[in-house]
Amino acid sequence: MKLVTAADADGRTFPGIYDAGGIVDLSQHGFATALDVISADASTLVPIVDTGGDVMTDATLKMPLVPRRIIGTGTNYRSHVAEMGGTEPQRPTANFIKLPNSYAAAGDDIEIPPFCLLDYEAEIAIVIGTEVSHADSDAAYQAIFGLCLANDLSARDAPTTHLSLAKSGNGFCPIGPWITTTDELDVADIAFELLVNGELRQDSNSSDMIHSMVDIVASFSHSLPLHPGDVILTGSPSGVGVGQNPPVFLAPGDIVEIRSPQLGTMANRLVSPATVEGKP
Amino acid sequence: MRVTRVLHNDVVKTCMIDNGALVAIERALGGVPEPWEVALAEGDGFTGVGQLPPRDVIHLGFADPSLVLGAEDNFSSQPQSRKTGLAAMRPAAIEPFRRSDPSEDVWIIPRDPRSVAVPGHPIVRPLECEKLDLGVTLAVVTGPGGTVAGYSVGIDVIRRDVPVEHAYLARSYPSHLQLDSALCSPTELDAADTIELTLSIDGEERQHCSMSDLVVQPATLLASIDRRYRLAGGEVILMGTPPGTALDRGDGWLTDGATVVAAITGIGELRTHVVAATT
């Protein structure tokens, strides 16, 4: 199942199931939000997925869910550790979060703040489906509702002591385009790549992670209970802008596209602050 | 001026604390203001609408923040850095872009806003946690644009039993941020060198430090944060905790039943205790 949040022509938002033909409106089945769907007993979803329903073809995709919070794992690909000049962590890290104003959707324009050296980081995002604490590997896997793509946009002019601030400008965490449930995935083999204006910059696979997604969930759950709607970013591979020689940063007009054969495609345009609708 | 929020007859009300009495206040044109708005304005533009009997109210605390950020390594007398994980690293790739600014050496770590305890709720020790630590902290509440709207006393509780790489998770357990129920106007705070922060556990003083020991004072730290993250009104920024934590001492972890008292000169005193989690 590919879970989306969509809006119809009247601006009404609703959770839905996406397929190539359109979107099945889950609000007709009593679900008000994507979190309601994520939190539901899977058995209630099976007949809906099997039988479908009225398909909408003119809805637009929004952020697939409003995250309860987004926790960031840093330094989880050896190639990225090498290009940044850091050291490999012995355990999954939870050193930063993406603050709520950073949440954004595929397709959103994202403003580059003045004097900001903005960089991209393609990542796979875990969406937690059940409350979980002190999980072993099996319980950790069962707690994962699904995966989506994310861009962990980062201001490189900020020090690592201010990491959550550096990663939490307005719109600095687009996620999308939908959440693919784990029954359709091999979480240890998710390919993804990132392109800037059509130029390939990052190309990797979840199999390259230092700590697997299951290990991350299990490790975090021993330190703090995780809840439905929590999102965990799982780190970015090599190829970020600051790792280029010389470093390159995002500029207004750039199109950043992240695509995965399993998780879909997500594109965002970078803009200067003045061109974001409704803002000065 | 001291401000708080209470529930009275199932209605949330903002109150001024006047010699121990609770006086409900409203906007001049009606409506209940946020406590930080009243504290920032020193009450100007707001009207008292009657005293509330203390027995008839439930204290809600002054804050319902959407954002809580905490500082670490913000006391110059701190014997050794508390930075861990990525914060302790200086990756070569981003080193050329660092600024020479003392506020950037202060580690800023978010807490889950759901970790803020309801007034009167004790500190809950997770069942498996044998290294629970805490410290007194000056809690700053923001006005718009990174201004200081008010101050309060805070107790910042941190799990030291979890991996050091889990800095955010270690600071986000429910009940692990204790705040005094009252918010003080900025003018209540005297000069930094006259303000002392103290914390005792079961009568034993563990922390005693002057606010003049802060590496970065509140207005400067808020301005530094606001450069990267636009602060709204009502957010909570913790200024860090002085030396004397169990981590610094190597012992003295919190135990069930312990009574903790934190105080800041001119701001207030916060008393709480520790209980074990039931599940």
Residue A275 has a pLDDT of 55
Phi–psi pair at B265, nearest 5 degrees:
-55, 125
Q: What is the pLDDT of residue A131?
A: 96
pLDDT, residue B104, reads: 83
Task: Tell me: pLDDT of A47 over 50.
Answer: yes
Distance between alpha carbon B134 and the CA centroid of its chain, in Å? 12
Q: pLDDT for A137-176, tens place per residue? A: 999 999 999 999 999 999 998 888 999 999 999 999 999 9
Whether A215 contacts chain B with CB within 8 A:
no
pLDDT tens string A75-95 = 899 888 888 777 888 889 898
Buried b (16+ CB within 10 A) or exposed e, B243-256: bbbbbbeeebbbee
Distance separating alpha carbons of residues A104 and A173, to the nearest angstrom: 6
- Residue B154 Cα, gap to closest chain A Cα (Å): 21
**Dist CA B121 CA A206 (whole Å):** 43
Whether A82 has its CB under 8 Å from any CB of chain B: the answer is no
In whole angstroms, what is the distance from residue A207 CA to residue A185 CA?
13
Task: Tell me the percentage of chain B whose pLDDT exceeds 70.
Answer: 98
Backbone angles phi, psi at B166, to 5 degrees: -100, 50
Q: Which residue has the higher pLDDT, B168 or B192?
A: B168
Dihedral sign from CA coordinates of B222, B227, B228, B229 = positive
Q: What value does the mean pLDDT take over residues B96-106?
A: 78
> A183 by DSSP, 3-state: which?
helix
Closest CA to A159 of B140, B89, B45: B89
Average pLDDT over residues A15-44: 89
Burial of A265 (0-12, 13-18, 19+ CB in 10 A): middle
Q: Kindly tell me if the per-residue pLDDT of B117 is higher than 80.
A: yes
- Determine contact: A235 vs chain B, CB below 8 A: no
Q: With b meaning 16 or more CB within 10 Å and e meaning fewer, what string describes A77-90?
A: beebbebbebeebe
Question: Residues B222, B146: contact at Cβ < 8 Å?
Answer: yes
Tell me the mean pLDDT in the region B157-164: 95
User: Which has the minimum average pLDDT: B71-85, B87-101, B237-251?
Assistant: B87-101
Q: Which residues of A touch B165 (CB under 8 A)?
A: 89-95
CA within 13 Å, CB half, B6: 22
Which member of B69, B91, B168 has the closest CB to residue A71?
Answer: B168
Q: Which residue has the higher pLDDT, B97 or A74?
A: A74
Residue A278's pLDDT is what?
47
Q: How confident is the model at residue B33 (pLDDT cuts 50, 70, 90)?
A: very high
Confidence band of B258 (pLDDT split at 50, 70, 90):
very high
| The pLDDT value given to residue A88 | 85
Could you give the C-alpha distances from B19 to A3, A113, A150, B2, B23, in angstroms and in order? Answer: 56, 47, 53, 10, 10
Note the pLDDT of residue A274: 67
Does A277 have pLDDT greater than 80?
no
CA distance A73 to chain B (A): 9
